[in-house]
Amino acid sequence: MPKIDLAAIEQTNRTGYPAEFAEAVAGRWVRKLGPATGLSEFGVSHVVLNPGAASSQRHWHEEEDEFVVMLSGEAVLVDDSGRTPMRAGDMASFPRGDGNGHHLVNESGEDCVFLAVGRVPQGRAHYPDIDLIWSGEAYHRKDGSRF
């Protein structure tokens, strides 16, 4: 049956970030819907941000498009253009290679929920605010040294 039982899919707050950058996403809870439902060409994640949590460190991808749809609550989209409130029904698009570092931050007192659509990053990801780069295989400092 194509209807998804969200409660049957594991919800985690794991992160691959090095410890010094992980705190920002400690209140981020993700259900990876793609693997659980047989999707293989793109990924979809159901994301809950607790108050004070960020979706990620601010970043952009060389080779991955990203798209988000707010389902409930409110977050602030922080990108190179500034701060934009995002509420239920709002959407945002981040084309690969555009260099616009972005993330969502829940500054409200309630959880917010959104869908993130993309694929597993295969190329480099850049983190303009911190000393971090994703090489496509591992995190490194901007000087190339490993964590």
| 90 vs 59: CA distance, rounded Å | 20
Residue corresponding to tokens 């809950």: 48
Domain that holds residue 132: 6-140
Q: Is residue 52 part of a domain?
A: yes
CATH number at residue 59: 2.60.120.10
Give just the sign of the alpha carbon dihedral 136, 139, 140, 145.
negative
The tally of domains found in the chain comes to 1
Q: What is the mean pLDDT of residues 5-30?
A: 96
14 pLDDT tier (thresholds 50, 70, 90): very high
Indicate the pTM of the whole model: 0.94
In a domain, 113, yes or no: yes
Average pLDDT over residues 33-43: 91
pLDDT at 65: 95
Mean pLDDT of 78-83: 97
Determine the 3-state secondary structure of 11 from DSSP: coil
Within a domain: 48: yes
pLDDT given at position 136: 85
Map residue 96 onto helix, strand or coil.
coil
Residue 79 in any domain: the answer is: yes
| pLDDT > 90? residue 63 | yes
The stretch 128-146 carries a mean pLDDT of 94
Residue 101 lies in a domain: yes
Residue 11 pLDDT exceeds 80: yes
Average pLDDT over residues 47-60: 98
Q: Which residues contact 111 (CB under 8 A, 6 or more apart)?
A: 48, 49, 50, 51, 72, 73
In a domain, 1, yes or no: no
Q: Is residue 147 part of a domain?
A: no
Helix (H, G, I), strand (E, B) or coil at 102: strand
Percentage of residues of the chain with pLDDT beyond 70: 99
pLDDT digits over 93-136, tens only?
A: 999 999 999 999 999 999 999 999 998 778 899 999 999 999 98
Residue 1 has pLDDT above 70, yes or no: no
Burial of 143 (0-12, 13-18, 19+ CB in 10 A): exposed
pLDDT recorded at residue 2: 85
